[in-house]
Structure 1
Amino acid sequence: MAKKVKIDFNRVPKPVRYVIAIGLPLVILLLFFFIYYRPKSAEIKALKSEIQKQEQEITNAERKLAKLPELKAKYNVLVMELDDLKRQLPEEKEVSGLLKQVSDLGIESGLVINLWKPANKRVHSSGILYEIPVKVEMSGSYHNLGVFFSKLTTLNRIVNLKNIKLGRPRPSGKEAVLQIALDTVTFSAIPEKELKKMKKSKKKKRRR
């Protein structure tokens, strides 16, 4: 049977008693700090940081959600504008008919077509359209030219006139006749298959 050990603190020297009285609570306090408080404090700090992060994400999500109706409205407007633009763009097979229509309008306006020279189509800077330019030389009066420009605005297709050059007018009967040079440019949507080929070609060039 184990014997009970009794310590008579009265016999313990005073300095030792002071050390025990002060040191023991200090040891307990240090053990509490390192074993319990410090890990819990780090855990609390990490949780606070995570909460702040989640709060920021919630705030950002709420801002985006508030803008959602506005973004949807803008998107719908852009879709409508794109559909309207597509309706104004002829398919490539329709371009020759459109160009003939432009030529006929010039003749109907009293202009004489001296040159009608289509150039090779080229890809528009947008990357989704073909530009089909035609070099045109005509002769007629200012009035005839004004009528021609007015008739072009009635077309339901997009036709641009560029590089317009007017020569010196020459008297011809009651009106002065001038030489007119310009570039007629119309557009057609690039077919989906060709767009895919062009994108693949660009990717290959980037890899080189």
Structure 2
Amino acid sequence: MKKVFLPIEAIEAKIDDLPVVQRVLVLALTVLALAAAFYYFKYDPQSKRIRQLRTSIQNEETRLATLKKYAAESEKLAQEVEKAQEEFAAMLKLLPHQREIPALLETVSQIGAQEGLENLLFQPLPEILHEFHATIPVRLDLVGRYHQLGLFLDKISRLGRIIQVDSMALKRRSDSSLQVSCNFSTYRFLEEHERKKPEPKKK
């Protein structure tokens, strides 16, 4: 069967011969056909593509916002860790290690001598262990003047280590000097192997 092709002029002539109502109807159908073709072959695919792109952009914006939030939190945590490390290092300076204790106690004794105090007794007592540190009590008996004692206490308070005077008893001697019986404590940081391990929980 042969296909019949009508020239444009013939089609236009046929349309011109139609009544006005039919010509309007043909024009309307032609416009609708072109609009339908435009919608299905051009507008609808582009519209779907635009919706896909908008969804992708929204997802990427959400992902970017989440990553920025994590980055800000990570930076904040890093700053907090750095600050905690600095504070821990500062605390460690106040708590000498075991090898520094003899030198610290010797310094305390030397300060007493420098201020003219006579050292009658300098006796470190057994350590008291805690979870992370040890308390080192010391018994110290001195003889001297009141102002010498004041200078001594002032200087040991500035040593940069924690030294706490627990008790002090003063006794006036016949030569108007003071005999001081003093108990003070210093502290040291426990090494890892010295710390008490927690007892396993009983089942």
TM-score of the two chains, using structure 1 as the length reference: 0.55
Q: Distance in 2 between matches of 1:71 and 1:179?
A: 54
Structure 1 residues 138 and 72: CA distance shift in structure 2, 3 A: same
In the alignment, what sits opposite 2:164? Answer: 160
- CA deviation after TM superposition for structure 1 residue 70, in Å: 7.9
In the alignment, what sits opposite 2:199? Answer: 203
Question: For structure 2, which runs of at least 5 residues remain unmatched after alignment?
Answer: 1-68
TM-score of the two chains, using structure 2 as the length reference: 0.57
In the alignment, what sits opposite 1:30? Answer: none
**Mapping for residues 47-126 of structure 1, pairs under 5 Å:** 76-124=82-130
The superposition leaves residues 82-132 of structure 1 with CA deviations (integer Å, 9 ceiling, x where unpaired) of 2101022221011111101101111111111111111111113xx100111
**Mapping for residues 6-85 of structure 1, pairs under 5 Å:** 76-85=82-91
Question: For structure 1, which runs of at least 5 residues remain unmatched after alignment?
Answer: 1-61
> How many equivalent pairs are there?
135
Q: Which amino acid aligns with 1:155?
A: L
Structure 1 residues 71 and 181: CA distance shift in structure 2, 3 A: farther
Aligned identity (percent) is 28
Query: Rg larger in 1 or in 2?
Result: 2
Are residue 180 (structure 1) and residue 174 (structure 2) matched?
Answer: no
Q: Secondary structure at the match of 2:158?
A: coil
Q: Which amino acid aligns with 2:134?
A: Y
Q: Distance in 2 between matches of 1:69 and 1:179?
A: 58
Q: Secondary structure at the match of 1:145?
A: helix
In the alignment, what sits opposite 2:64? Answer: none
Q: Which amino acid aligns with 2:199?
A: K
CA RMSD of aligned residues (A): 2.6
Q: Distance in 2 between matches of 1:113 and 1:165?
A: 15
My pick for the range that moved more, 84-93 or 70-79, is 70-79
Q: Distance in 2 between matches of 1:177 and 1:70?
A: 59
- CA deviation after TM superposition for structure 1 residue 207, in Å: 2.7
